[in-house]
Amino acid sequence: MATEISVVDLARCIADGQAPFILDVREPAEFTGPLGHAPGALSIPMGQIPTRVAELDGVRGGTCYCICLSGGRSGMVAEYLSQQGFGTVINVTGGMKAWNAAGLPCVHE
């Protein structure tokens, strides 16, 4: 099981000046949709992760926070990336639903 973090704790990291690497694994329409996305998040849909994993090599030894709509897909991606040798991969519990419910800043584009 992947390590998990709450949206509030992740937002605190951002507010404290850290620049965490956030991987949003939702579909493009979700990423740009009504819930928006976390500031600085990179969008790679879950189904594309195996063929695009090389794009993540720059964070292989660091920490990667995976987020989706509610935490299911991001949990699976976190497990997959851990199996692929990524250092610290953390699932954001509750996903963008929890992010929005907490009133955290979102990017809408």
In a domain, 108, yes or no: no
Q: Is the model's pLDDT at 94 over the cut of 70? A: yes
State yes or no: is 106 an active-site residue. no
CATH of residue 92's domain is 3.40.250.10
User: What pLDDT, in 10s, does the model give residues 48-84?
Assistant: 999 999 999 999 989 999 999 999 999 999 999 999 9
Q: Is the model's pLDDT at 18 over the cut of 90? A: no
Cα–Cα dist 3/36, whole Å: 24
For the chain, what is the domain count? 1
Catalytic residue selected from 13, 66, 68, 106: 66
Sequential DSSP letters for the chain: --EEE-HHHHHHHHHTT---EEEE-S-HHHHTSTT-B-TT-EE--GGGHHHHGGGGGGGTTSEEEEE-SSSHHHHHHHHHHHHTT-SEEEEETTHHHHHHHTT---B--
